[in-house]
Amino acid sequence: MEKPKNNFKIVSDKKARMLLPNALTLINVCIGLSSIKFALDSKFELSIIAIIFAAIFDALDGRVARLLKGTSLVGKELDSLADLISFGVAPAFIMYFWSLNNLGKFGWLLTMIFVVCVALRLARFNVSSNSEPSWKDNYFEGVPSPAGGILILMPLIFSLSEFNLININHNIIVPIFFILISFLLISKIPTFAFKRITIPRRMTIFVLFGIVLFCGLLLIYTFKVLLICGLIYIFLLPIGYLNYQSVYKKKFLSGEINDNDELEDIL
């Protein structure tokens, strides 16, 4: 008679599925902290690259968790704390070391305001939930924290892109960016989420070619490509708002929603 096998396991299968997403989130934290260290050493190019990698890991951890069915409340809270560091504290400190420190106390005030707005943005996400799929999943409520953390770096990215078409006064432009992005973070302005994009099968090869081309350009012309992507995202903000209003009006007139429905905050 064959004896039953006794498989020794340090953790259960369910907990094991949570390890990888949480590990990616912790890597995100380490990269965000490293970007601050690069800024302290005046290596602002490496700081920006670190924030971009942090955004990539932030996008991966949630998708990996859903793919492995390893989502958890701890992972959700950990992800928000990681975002606060990588897209709140880190970008604010990078810009402070680069430009805002020239403004004295006012520069430090802007730094604190931005970090507080990122914290409020993430707190609002944590208390909101929408388990049922909805057409509103195509939109964020306000600018998400990863996008806000990258947008706040746009003046620095512009200076590193070697575009010498115009000369800008950093002491004016940087504070304007901080105030504007801070407002967009805590606002309820609908913005595109880009989570439900359907690609026809016949277009798959062209999409793959486009991704390869984009990655190649990003490696060769890093800051120029980042600047263009940031400008495209800024131009998409009013388009997203108008698109949301158009879809909402159609849904309201068809009776699918009522006037009391609010946009779900999804990060």
pLDDT digit string, tens, across residues 153-193: 999 999 998 776 677 788 899 999 999 999 999 998 888 88
End-to-end CA distance of the chain: give it in Å, rounded: 55
**Token match 């905050």: residue?**
265
Full 3-state SS string of 97-137: HHCHHHHCHHHHHHHHHHHHHHHHHHHHHHCCCCCCCCHHH
pLDDT digit string, tens, across residues 122-138: 888 777 655 566 767 77
Q: What domains lie within the chain, and their CATH numbers?
A: 13-253 (1.20.120.1760)
pLDDT digit string, tens, across residues 63-110: 777 777 767 777 778 888 999 999 999 999 999 999 999 999 999 999
Tell me the whole-structure pTM to 2 decimals: 0.84
